[in-house]
């Protein structure tokens, strides 16, 4: 008979009384901000629910916030916490309108959300963290760099009356520095490590065996590989001759990218860069394309390789054209298509289908997840399963690709439900299903290829062994990148175990990240800010800027942010001032694709005081010749008469925008700002159409018909209802509305 935990905030008979989970929850409540590192399937969600219940008891009217890095995982948490907790639970994602999210936040006590969604609402001041007594960062190893977890932890510590932070992860990373960075970023001062070998955990934990299946490239694929290798060798020899690389021994992709960056720096730092530098960058791009082709050939499927060749042929870059004209590379492309037509495929694909058939033959109820890094490969695996009458489903991200529509959030949930409850044996997934997705009854995990990341290997392995002992199979092609990735992941996993599970096994770790004072967590020292700097200003921000760090930076310095759909510019300060912000990289790209001058023209046409901010330390640090940059700057400043302000980084840009706002909004006495949601018409016909389209029920087509019929805007406004109805497409209702608008007396 199961022993269930009883608590006033827990639903009856929902959480089994496992001592190690109760001890972990008690430790969090006693010691404060904590990171729990424990294998997948050890019940970290249960621990989070136990801590949540006690916080709700101690702080009766408080809220609990559970953050998860993906929408499917957020919705899974909502389902779990509804099951565990006897209080109101809701989820917030980007699919909900901001007004609906605010209502859900106010009406519910437990909120499950994606971090980007909450960040957007906190910056827009839809709600705050004042009454949140616990924040749970699930998969907290994401809390590095500019990820939303970092910003939200800082805002939580600033705003919350009763703070407690809980970070959960199965895989914090193999480097000690990464573990320390994550801990610091979410203000954790305790780390608790549990493993499946612990005596109190072992009875509940099922072992997972890992089995390697090795295959050899077929003669046909080897023939293509040799041609691609020869193509690569020729480029590497040329690069050595140009003095760009020292050796023709096969470099890694990372090394090639470093060389590209180095050449760009040389171009940027020279007033007259050598022609060889530009040639070198183009050849290095060819090398990257060749290396990617080789990786797909060695580790994926012949169809995935052919899809990449098709994409490459559509590109119009110098590098792509050079490869098209290369005899050996072209022969490799033709052979790929020839063998694809003959039905020849990668031996891994053949062995995979055989393995799936074997596992299903053992038990028709077996559930299997197949992981692949490439969406194209998951599609090929799915097609092969269909061909062999294997009942399978594909699971991947929401972004659409060429001829492959993304899975909506609703479809993702339906797919997982179908796999769990219907008679499907196989779920074929990209990395989307690695983290936290609730697929409890999986018997086998198959990796189509090894992955070099120890975090991803651990996450994938954790998909099995939840109900009973599981097995993970990893397919590997001998003498290829598969082997390199295998050894890389093994080395990193050993290092992680050494750094975490061994170095810190004996006791909990106490760090120096004590809960910060509210003033300490801001990026800026309040004592150095003037009264003006602390003043609140209002900034209108284009919705396309919402994913940049600028929103955070402006929020930190007390700017009230209104996100709008702006047709012109990125930031609007007053009716007269619109700012176009460009990073150094974007400035360079906009010169190349001719966007820059069109944007400058629209700025000038739509406001009296346009500004351009160029952000970055070295404006010449791009692939463009310095003279092209100088020419563009001259045109913007002289031809368009747009002042250019240079800033060092996002922080500097935020302070600059605020300084402009303080100066200009004081002058205007904070008059309401008319945000440019569409560009002003420039020509006379455009202006006439613009005025006519503003009439009720009139779109561009009807506006043109009205002006063609009545000749002038004045005649349209003065027309009777009968005359208006003579125009094709203008009915009784539209005509009545137009008469109403143009003839009624104005009253505020």
Burial class (CB in 10 A: 0-12, 13-18, 19+), 330: middle
Which class is 684-743 in CATH?
A: mainly alpha
- The reported pLDDT for the residue numbered 527 is 43
- The reported pLDDT for the residue numbered 515 is 44
Q: Which helix or strand (DSSP H or E) is residue 645 part of? A: strand 644-647
Question: Average pLDDT, stretch 36-53?
Answer: 88
- The reported pLDDT for the residue numbered 507 is 43
**Alpha carbon distance 701, 421 (integer Å):** 51
Which class is 526-667 in CATH?
A: alpha beta
Look at strands 571-572 and 577-583 and give their pairing: antiparallel
Q: Is the pLDDT of residue 684 over 60?
A: yes
The CATH superfamily of 19-204 is: P-loop containing nucleotide triphosphate hydrolases (3.40.50.300)
Query: In this structure, are residues 427 and 460 in contact, taking their beta carbons and an 8 Å threshold?
Result: no
Burial class (CB in 10 A: 0-12, 13-18, 19+), 730: buried
Report for 291-295, 395-399, 492-496, 592-596: range of highest mean pLDDT:
291-295
Look at strands 190-193 and 34-37 and give their pairing: parallel
The answer to whether domain 219-341 and domain 526-667 are alike in fold is no
Query: In this structure, are residues 19 and 200 in contact, taking their beta carbons and an 8 Å threshold?
Result: yes
- Which pair of tokens denotes residue 498? 């050494």
Please write the tens of the pLDDT for every residue from 632-682: 999 999 999 999 999 999 999 999 999 999 988 876 555 566 665 666 666
- The reported pLDDT for the residue numbered 521 is 44
Report for 81-90, 232-241, 481-490, 526-535: range of highest mean pLDDT:
81-90
Q: Is the pLDDT of residue 462 over 60?
A: no
- The reported pLDDT for the residue numbered 132 is 97
**C-alpha distances in angstroms, 276 versus 241, 242, 552, 566?**
10, 7, 42, 42
Edge-to-edge order in the sheet of strand 368-371: 208-215, 470-477, 444-447, 368-371, 426-429, 392-395
- The reported pLDDT for the residue numbered 166 is 97
Q: How much of the chain, in percent, has pLDDT values that exceed 70?
A: 84
Longest dimension (CA), the chain: 90
Question: Average pLDDT, stretch 332-338?
Answer: 94
Chain-wide mean pLDDT for the chain? 84
Q: Which of 682, 530, 511 is nearest to 602 (CA)?
A: 682
Question: Average pLDDT, stretch 548-560?
Answer: 87
**Alpha carbon distance 108, 134 (integer Å):** 14
Please write the tens of the pLDDT for every residue from 352-378: 999 999 999 988 888 888 988 888 899
- The reported pLDDT for the residue numbered 2 is 64
- Which pair of tokens denotes residue 42? 């050890």
Can you tell me which residue has the tokens 């050494």? 498
In DSSP notation, 589-609 reads: HHHHTTHHHHHHHHHHHH-SE
- The reported pLDDT for the residue numbered 513 is 47
CATH code for 208-215+347-478? 3.40.50.300
Can you tell me which residue has the tokens 């160029």? 614
Residues 6+ apart with CB under 8 A from 385: 353, 356, 391, 392, 426, 428
In DSSP notation, 522-537 reads: SSS-GGGS-HHHHS-E
**Alpha carbon distance 114, 409 (integer Å):** 13
- The reported pLDDT for the residue numbered 678 is 62
pLDDT-derived band at 465 (thresholds 50, 70, 90) equals: very low
CATH code for 219-341? 1.20.1320.20
More confident site: 221 or 624: 221
Instruction: Identify any residues that bridge with 65 across adjacent strands, giving them in sequence order.
Output: 111, 135
Domain range summary for the chain, segments of one domain joined by +: 19-204, 208-215+347-478, 219-341, 526-667, 684-743
Residues 6+ apart with CB under 8 A from 325: none
This model's pTM is above 0.85: no
- The reported pLDDT for the residue numbered 679 is 63
Q: What angle do CA 341, 342, 346 make, to 5 degrees?
A: 95
Among 486-500, 573-587, 595-609, 723-737, which stretch is predicted with the lowest mean pLDDT? 486-500
Alpha-carbon dihedral 483, 485, 488, 490, rounded to 10 degrees = -70
**Alpha carbon distance 665, 672 (integer Å):** 10
Can you tell me which residue has the tokens 């407690």? 164
Report for 72-81, 197-206, 436-445: range of highest mean pLDDT:
72-81
Residues 6+ apart with CB under 8 A from 27: 34, 190, 192, 508
Q: Is the pLDDT of residue 694 over 90?
A: no
Question: Average pLDDT, stretch 545-559?
Answer: 85
- The reported pLDDT for the residue numbered 211 is 84
């Amino acid at each position: 008979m199961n022993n269930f935990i009883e608590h006033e905030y827990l639903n009856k008979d929902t959480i089994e009384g496992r001592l190690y989970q109760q001890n972990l929850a008690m430790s969090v409540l006693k010691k404060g901000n904590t990171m729990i590192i424990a294998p997948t399937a050890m019940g970290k969600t249960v621990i989070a629910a136990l801590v949540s219940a006690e916080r709700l008891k101690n702080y009766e009217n408080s809220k609990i916030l559970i953050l998860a890095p993906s929408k499917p995982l957020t919705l899974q948490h909502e389902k779990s916490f509804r099951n565990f907790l006897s209080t109101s639970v809701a989820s917030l994602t980007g699919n909900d309108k901001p007004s609906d999210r605010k209502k859900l936040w106010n009406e519910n006590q437990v909120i499950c959300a994606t971090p980007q969604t909450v960040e957007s609402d906190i910056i827009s001041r839809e709600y705050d963290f004042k009454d949140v007594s616990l924040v749970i960062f699930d998969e907290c190893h994401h809390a590095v760099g500019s990820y939303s977890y970092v910003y939200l932890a800082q805002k939580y510590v600033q705003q919350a009356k009763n703070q407690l932070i809980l970070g959960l992860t199965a895989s914090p990373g193999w480097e000690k520095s990464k573990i320390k960075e994550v801990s610091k970023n979410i203000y954790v001062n305790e780390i608790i490590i549990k493993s499946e070998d612990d005596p109190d955990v072992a009875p509940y934990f099922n072992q997972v065996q890992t089995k390697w299946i090795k295959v050899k490239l077929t003669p046909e694929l080897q023939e293509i590989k040799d041609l691609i290798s020869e193509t690569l060798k020729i480029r590497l020899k040329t690069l050595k001759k140009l003095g760009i690389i020292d050796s023709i021994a096969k470099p890694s992709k990372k090394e090639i990218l470093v060389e590209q960056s180095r050449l760009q720096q040389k171009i940027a730092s020279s007033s007259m860069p050598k022609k060889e530098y530009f040639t070198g960058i183009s050849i290095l791009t060819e090398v990257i394309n060749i290396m990617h082709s080789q990786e797909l050939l060695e580790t994926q499927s012949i169809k995935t390789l052919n899809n990449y060749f098709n994409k490459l042929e559509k590109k119009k870059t110098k590098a792509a054209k050079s490869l098209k004209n290369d005899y050996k590379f072209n022969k490799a492309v033709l052979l790929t298509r020839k063998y694809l037509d003959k039905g020849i495929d990668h031996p891994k694909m053949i062995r995979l289908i055989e393995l799936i058939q074997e596992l299903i033959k053992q038990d028709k109820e077996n559930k299997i997840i197949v992981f692949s890094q490439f969406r194209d490969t998951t599609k090929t695996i799915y097609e092969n399963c269909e061909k062999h009458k294997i009942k399978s489903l594909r699971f991947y991200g929401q972004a659409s690709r060429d001829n492959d529509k993304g899975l909506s959030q609703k479809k993702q949930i339906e797919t997982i439900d179908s796999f769990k409850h219907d008679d499907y044996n196989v779920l074929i997934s990209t990395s989307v299903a690695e983290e936290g997705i609730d697929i409890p009854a999986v018997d086998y995990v198959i990796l189509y290829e090894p992955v070099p990341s120890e975090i991803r290997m651990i996450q994938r392995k954790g998909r099995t062994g939840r109900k009973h002992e599981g097995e993970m199979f990893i397919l590997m092609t001998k003498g290829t990148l598969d082997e390199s990735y295998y050894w890389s992941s093994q080395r990193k996993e050993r290092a992680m175990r050494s750094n975490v599970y061994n170095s810190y096994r004996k006791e909990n770790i106490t760090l120096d990240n004590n809960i910060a004072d509210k003033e300490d967590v801001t990026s800026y020292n309040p004592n150095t800010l003037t009264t003006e700097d602390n003043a609140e200003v209002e900034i209108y921000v284009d919705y396309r800027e919402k994913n940049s760090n600028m929103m955070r930076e402006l929020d930190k310095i007390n700017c009230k942010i209104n996100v709008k759909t702006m047709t012109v510019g990125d930031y609007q300060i007053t009716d007269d001032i619109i700012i176009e912000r460009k990073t150094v990289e974007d400035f360079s790209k906009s010169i190349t694709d001719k966007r820059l001058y069109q944007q400058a023209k629209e700025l000038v046409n739509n406001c009296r005081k346009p500004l351009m901010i160029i952000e970055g330390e070295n404006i010449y640090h791009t692939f463009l010749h310095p003279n092209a940059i100088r020419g563009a700057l001259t045109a913007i400043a002289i031809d368009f008469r747009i002042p250019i302000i240079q800033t060092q980084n996002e922080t500097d840009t935020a302070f600059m925008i605020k300084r402009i706002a303080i100066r200009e909004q004081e002058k205007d006495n904070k008059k309401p700002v008319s945000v440019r949601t569409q560009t002003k018409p420039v020509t006379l016909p455009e202006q006439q159409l613009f005025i006519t389209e503003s009439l009720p029920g009139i779109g561009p087509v009807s506006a043109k018909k009205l002006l063609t019929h009545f000749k002038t805007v004045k005649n349209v406004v003065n027309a009777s209802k009968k005359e208006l109805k003579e125009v094709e497409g203008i009915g009784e209702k539209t005509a009545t509305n137009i008469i109403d608008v143009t003839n009624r007396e104005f009253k505020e």
